Amino acid sequence: MSDVKKVVLAYSGGLDTSVIVKWLQETYNCEVVTFTADIGQGEEVEPARAKAQALGVKEIYIEDLREEFVRDYVFPMFRANTIYEGEYLLGTSIARPLIAKRLIEIANETGADAISHGATGKGNDQVRFELGGYALKPGVKVIAPWREWDLTSREKLMAYCEERNIPVDFSNKKKKSPYSMDANLLHISYEGGILEDPWAEAEEDMWRWSVSPEAAPEQPTYVELTFEKGDIVAIDGEAHKPHEVLEKLNKLGGDNGIGRLDIVENRYVGMKSRGCYETPGGTIMLRAHRAIESLTLDREEAHLKDQLMPKYAEVIYNGYWWSPERRMLQAAIDETQKNVCGVVRMKLYKGNAIVVGRKSEQSLFDESIATFEDDAGAYNQKDAEGFIKLNALRLRIAAGKGRQQS
């Protein structure tokens, strides 16, 4: 007999997790608690309640986590200007620690023995969910059906549903979705289908959030973003909550063909994966944040922060949000943001997010020194001679020893 009496499942209401509910009930003879998170995926989550009830689930959690997601996860990540492998804005990665946290909290509230998820044994998400679970509840049992069962294809999943009268839209059972997609307020991702060939161009009708740059308006859109301590708090002078900021920027960016990405990335489990992403609001946020930092951060502070960023990105991508190293890096990053305040003006045009202006009361830009005109003695150009000679000293000594540079 299984020692698992109750398990909390991250439940979307789709085919895979609906099968998992019944599979858990049969395999472990346990009670299943479902947890469905609204993190801005753009789909109605309430229908998951009726689907769970039809499967005999008695404890059903459906929660709007959009505000917490952007405020406590997306914004802190963007303070670091985080990009994985030079391009990816980590839209899927950053959602997993929040879901893991709520799985554990609900497990504690309901007295559950285990948590479960629908991530496959090939991907990063299994690592992210489980690292978060173990970090927050060391003794928790994790059940990952894709690593246990023999339901290895969509056809087998559909047959399982038919045999057990699991409520699924069977009218579409002959139509295989061409892509595996994941969406939240920060992005939508696409994998599988023709994308498994890295040479094949993504089909235009795949993209859901953005028009193509070619189809974007002929006239640019201007927008002004107000920052306080590294976070956007207002758009065109109007205050918004964090999730409202991202919603509005997603619309502005998508309408102007901004935020499409096609990459091959290195998964933590070892394989390479080709994916396409739409991150319109995040793309604008990143450009604007770097612009306000360029005005307000000290040079060495900014350069050191840029050196820390790749490690911070790797930590998040690999699922270590709840690790001591992430907290350490976050503390250093947040310390740099105290004076990152001001306004950035962006020009959105045919796939481009262009910075055209920035201003701040905390600006370190001194026009009287930087000017090409007469600076009235603000900067003594003769000082540069000694500066250069001192910095060249080691080079001059080495050259004097005949150490020629090849």
Q: Which residues are catalytic?
A: 16, 96, 125, 180
Other CB atoms within a 10 A radius of the CB of residue 310 amount to 14
Backbone angles phi, psi at 125, to 5 degrees: -65, -35
* 150 contact partners, CB below 8 Å, separation of at least 6: 156
SS3 of residue 187 by DSSP: coil
Of 171, 169, 172, 173, nearest to 156 (Cα)? 173
Calculate the CA 113 to chain-centre distance.
30
CA–CA separation, 21 and 15 (whole Å): 10
* 219 contact partners, CB below 8 Å, separation of at least 6: none
The CA-to-CA distance between both ends of the chain, in Å, stands at: 73
Backbone angles phi, psi at 102, to 5 degrees: -70, -35
CA–CA separation, 99 and 130 (whole Å): 11
Q: What number of CA atoms fall less than 13 Å from residue 150's CA on the CB side?
A: 0
Backbone angles phi, psi at 312, to 5 degrees: -60, -45
Other CB atoms within a 10 A radius of the CB of residue 166 amount to 20
Of 139, 154, 144, nearest to 123 (Cα)? 144
Q: What is the DSSP annotation of 167-233?
A: ---GGGTTS--SSEEEE-SS-EEEESGGGGSTTSPPPGGG--S---GGGS-SS-EEEEEEEETTEEE
CA–CA separation, 222 and 336 (whole Å): 28
Q: Using an 8 Å Cβ cutoff, are 10 and 99 in contact? A: yes
Backbone angles phi, psi at 23, to 5 degrees: -65, -40
- Sign of the dihedral through C-alpha 236, 242, 247, 251: positive
CA–CA separation, 357 and 321 (whole Å): 34
